[in-house]
Structure 1
Amino acid sequence: MFVFTLCLYLWSWLSSIHGLDFRYHNSVEMEQYLKDVNRMYPEITHLHSIGQSVEGRELWVLILGQHPSEHRTGIPEFKYVGNMHGNEVVGRVLLLQLINYLTSQYLSDPLVTRMLNSSRVHILPSMNPDGFESSARDCMNSVGRYNKNGVDLNRNFPDVFESNTPQEREKEVRAVMDWLKTETFVLSANLHGGAVVASYPYDNSNRGSELQGGQSISPDDDVFVHLARTYSYNHTEMHNPDSCSGLTGFTNGITNGYYWYPLKGGMQDYNYVWAQCLELTLEISCCKFPPESQLSGLWEANRPALLAYMQQVHLGVKGVVMDSDGKPVQNAVVEVSGRKNLCPFSSDRNGEYFRLLLPGNYTITVTYPGHETLTQSIKVPYGPDSFSALTHNFLLQQSDNSSTGTTQPQSCTTAITTLTLFILQTLLLS
């Protein structure tokens, strides 16, 4: 441990002298940087690829935390995704800077240390490296926005408000969808450019009960508004009404996605509906591909917001659902009264559940086949200040009625099933 601590301080000292240049690193340079960081910090980082782009570039994810290589019970999973649109490049730069900051400040900065000791942070700096490599250095030009196949990745995910007939998902999208199956992500954000605002679900609507006053409101709207305001007000400018000249001001620097403009097949709605992960879309620069001279200032403007948002992974309540023998159970439905999610939140393969909630009193109902329905009332404190959500476990009792329990609606499994069938049919016909 002494040697590890000494290495951290030496690396921190070297970083303070050299640092990570504020410039645009190409895919080869980015890969080398991530490998160097992983090699220097093997105790707190784990590097892996979640798949490849159309042109074969690896989609590298660096995990940071006290136990980076594996999930630990009670430790929430957080993620940042950058550069989904290849020509919106500031997020890519900032996430590399964030990696540099977190690793160099671990054990010296109390906030960073508690953050990495209490959560597991996944960072995908570039979801669309092919688009980045073909981008033009232009403020609002769309060259490089799409992937190599000319597809907008933020319109290619399954959408709960659409029919979702079988269609081909791009390699980058499939990689993210598969990634979401491997971890129970609790909170996330994807970084974009061209405006300065925090946007939250829903992005789409079928003009049902969710459509209220021009907004598409989710059951967790209060939490989403809080999350968006957290980022906006910790940003130096986002909460101001005129952050970007020529754009209509956003009140408090936040917006409901649908209210801003309807979008189908978006990643944040997919995360929320099908992966139980609350995600925001963060527009973090007026210019999509700004001059490198502006990158340092953009980092300083966003750094406190990036950190404050990460800390919100500790909102609400978490715990384990166990059967009558005290064994964790998977797919137990955990519902909060008054929040009818399109796809109910449920326990994962470890029996864990995580529910982001604002402080207050809540009634939670847990259902699992073959067991009695369990309903309990709890008081949720504000967890981020202590870097831990409230821990509340549920112990179920066996029922004589084997049919007791709640199953997931068909729409919650249709997107995965139809995608799998489409891939199989394609392989058989090829």
Structure 2
Amino acid sequence: MKLILFLLYISLTLSSVLSRGGLSATRLLLEENHSHNSDSIDKAKGYMTNYDLEQAVKDFGRRCSNISRIYSIGKSVNGFPLWVMEISDKPGAEEPEPAFKFIGNVHGDEPVGREITLLLANWLCDNHMKDPLAKLIVENVHLHILPSLNPDGFALKRRGNANNIDLNRDFPDQFFPMNNDEDARQPETRAIMTWLREMHFTASATLHGGALVANYPWDGTHDKRRNYYGCPDDQTFKFLASSYSHSHRNMSLSKEFHGGIINGAFWYPIYGGMQDWNYIHGGCLELTLEISDDKWPNANELPTIWEYNKISMLNLVASVVKTGVHGRIFSSDSGRPIPGSITIKGINYMVKSGRAFADYHRLLAPGKKYEVIASAPGYKSKSTTIWLEEEAVTVDFILDPDETLEGNLLRSICDCGSGVTTKFYWRFHIEICFFLVIVLAFLCFLLKRRTLFTLGKQRQPPKRSVMI
């Protein structure tokens, strides 16, 4: 009997590779191949299967099409699409607004995030016309939700993916040379990395299970020892983590984690994690949220877990517009937006502005004075000092061109990357060339007249040419 089942599994797997139509059967088989284990049946009871999740995402897209868009960032090892729900009043459009992402089910045996993110999406759909916080998020943020990064691990009821790789150890690491070969990484990891190259997120969070705490970078140390190791934005991360913890029903009351937050390296060091990679390479401030003491709680506990985390999740998304300093960068000579960057004096971290609108969104801990510096290739940097209270501050920068030869060269290179500004400089160069042609034609006319005048006076002694 076991041999027959094994041959049936191989047959269905091969058919899914050869034909797209066999994919659903393979997914269901993967989800059910442990069904003889009573513990697995009890554990998964009440949770959406991968097929259920896919249908729920698509149903949400149809029901809330006016504020959402459904897309996939890739596929898992076994070919399951990694579905994303984007929520915005203009989904899919590029706007001068911050973007936030939630990612659930990074570890296959931590499925609460799958359920909670769907509940969040549907709550926003139902309340964005009547709830002020929901309205703020939909109208001012592009929220992207990936309910399951590891659908294969969920189907197999284990931590790793189909190749039994821990996806939260599969990213390039800043401390030790590991996972540097992109082709050797898992498809789920590559999908996240490609996603962040295509889209700039201001902040994000991954949802895990097994504890109740908001974890923030760094996740590792140089010597692999368990020590507090803060990143340049340590104060901002503690502010964001504390905001989540104190909005939660009981996370901040934790006896294990002071205030319900903890630095990753001080908790236990990990390497190849998504959180640090997001901050270093994606320009994205990411928290790792442990939202349930039990990795896989009974499904009847999900409504309670959702209620405990709802306001925290909403406040975290809203923080990308309600706090920090925001604005755009413009050129003084053309008046057009120019791609640049924002730095804060004393914090060794740079935030790039958007390509199309040159908008920036810099999260900072409130209650302090900051010197904000804007710069762009070929332009003189400018700075201003702000006092950041609880509310966000808006500062637009107008940069003057750097008139040095090197600055003009750099500015030309930079402007070639921006569509509208490139047209301006091409037009400027054409006008210069046209002017030079006019001048050259005039000089030729004068030379011809001079020659005719000289021939008319051949009897006069020639004059000596003078070069100045």
Tell me the residue number matched to 1:44. 67
Give the SS at the match of 1:78: strand
Tell me the residue number matched to 2:380. 372
Specify the code of the residue in structure 1 equivalent to 2:156: S
Specify the code of the residue in structure 2 equivalent to 1:82: G
- Aligned residue pair count: 359
Deviation at residue 364 of structure 1 after TM alignment: 1.7
Q: CA RMSD in A?
A: 2.0
Give the SS at the match of 2:251: coil
Alignment of 1:261-276 (within 5 A): 261-276=268-283
Give the SS at the match of 2:86: strand
Deviation at residue 132 of structure 1 after TM alignment: 0.6
Relative to its length, the structure with more helix (as a share) is 2
Counterpart CA distance in 1 for 2:384 and 2:311 is: 37
Tell me the residue number matched to 1:293. 300
Counterpart CA distance in 1 for 2:254 and 2:132 is: 33
Counterpart CA distance in 1 for 2:354 and 2:163 is: 34
Q: Does 1:203 align with 2:219?
A: yes
Counterpart CA distance in 1 for 2:205 and 2:287 is: 5
Tell me the residue number matched to 1:345. 351
Structure with greater Cα Rg:
2
Deviation at residue 207 of structure 1 after TM alignment: 5.2
Deviation at residue 326 of structure 1 after TM alignment: 2.2
Counterpart CA distance in 2 for 1:304 and 1:367 is: 37
Given that 2:208 and 2:291 are in contact with CA atoms closer than 8 Å, whether structure 1 keeps it comes out as yes
Tell me the residue number matched to 1:230. 243
Deviation at residue 233 of structure 1 after TM alignment: 1.0
Tell me the residue number matched to 1:189. 205
Tell me the residue number matched to 2:337. 328
Q: Deviations over 1:274-326 (max 9, x none)?
A: 11111100001111111112112111211121112222112211122223322
Q: Does 1:29 align with 2:52?
A: yes
Deviation at residue 379 of structure 1 after TM alignment: 3.0
Given that 2:320 and 2:361 are in contact with CA atoms closer than 8 Å, whether structure 1 keeps it comes out as no
Task: Provide TM-score, normalisation by structure 2.
Answer: 0.73
Given that 1:369 and 1:402 are in contact with CA atoms closer than 8 Å, whether structure 2 keeps it comes out as no
Decide which of 151, 157, 162 is 2:176's aligned counterpart.
Answer: 162
Q: 1:258 to 1:404 in 2, by over 3 A?
A: farther
Counterpart CA distance in 2 for 1:40 and 1:129 is: 24
Give the SS at the match of 1:215: coil
Alignment of 1:103-182 (within 5 A): 103-135=125-157, 144-164=158-178, 165-166=180-181, 168-182=184-198
Decide which of 86, 108, 129 is 1:86's aligned counterpart.
Answer: 108
Specify the code of the residue in structure 2 equivalent to 1:400: E
Given that 1:23 and 1:295 are in contact with CA atoms closer than 8 Å, whether structure 2 keeps it comes out as no
Tell me the residue number matched to 2:28. none
Deviation at residue 241 of structure 1 after TM alignment: 2.4
Counterpart CA distance in 2 for 1:333 and 1:163 is: 28
Counterpart CA distance in 2 for 1:345 and 1:313 is: 13
Give the SS at the match of 1:216: coil
Specify the code of the residue in structure 1 equivalent to 2:335: G
Give the SS at the match of 2:351: coil
**Segment of structure 1 superposing worse, 365-374 or 85-94:** 365-374
Give the SS at the match of 1:345: strand
Query: Which sections of structure 1, spanning at least 5 residues, go unmatched?
Result: 1-21, 136-143, 243-248, 384-388, 408-430
Specify the code of the residue in structure 1 equivalent to 2:146: L
Decide which of 362, 377, 384 is 2:370's aligned counterpart.
Answer: 362
Counterpart CA distance in 1 for 2:110 and 2:124 is: 23
Tell me the residue number matched to 1:420. none
Q: 1:62 to 1:87 in 2, by over 3 A?
A: same
Give the SS at the match of 2:59: helix
Counterpart CA distance in 2 for 1:298 and 1:272 is: 28
Counterpart CA distance in 2 for 1:109 and 1:92 is: 24
Specify the code of the residue in structure 2 equivalent to 1:238: M
Query: Which sections of structure 2, spanning at least 5 residues, go unmatched?
Result: 1-44, 411-468
Counterpart CA distance in 1 for 2:217 and 2:302 is: 28
Deviation at residue 404 of structure 1 after TM alignment: 5.2
Counterpart CA distance in 1 for 2:336 and 2:249 is: 47
Counterpart CA distance in 1 for 2:346 and 2:52 is: 49
Q: Does 1:316 align with 2:316?
A: no
Relative contact order, CA 8 A, sep 6+: which one is greater?
A: 1
**Segment of structure 1 superposing worse, 159-168 or 213-222:** 159-168
Counterpart CA distance in 2 for 1:401 and 1:203 is: 43
Given that 2:136 and 2:318 are in contact with CA atoms closer than 8 Å, whether structure 1 keeps it comes out as no
Deviation at residue 180 of structure 1 after TM alignment: 0.9
Counterpart CA distance in 1 for 2:318 and 2:218 is: 23
Deviation at residue 28 of structure 1 after TM alignment: 1.1
Deviation at residue 160 of structure 1 after TM alignment: 2.0
Tell me the residue number matched to 1:400. 403
Give the SS at the match of 2:51: helix
Decide which of 237, 242, 263 is 1:256's aligned counterpart.
Answer: 263
Specify the code of the residue in structure 2 equivalent to 1:85: H
Given that 2:247 and 2:312 are in contact with CA atoms closer than 8 Å, whether structure 1 keeps it comes out as yes
Deviation at residue 199 of structure 1 after TM alignment: 0.2
Counterpart CA distance in 2 for 1:111 and 1:345 is: 26
Counterpart CA distance in 2 for 1:23 and 1:96 is: 14
Q: 1:402 to 1:228 in 2, by over 3 A?
A: farther
Specify the code of the residue in structure 2 equivalent to 1:226: F
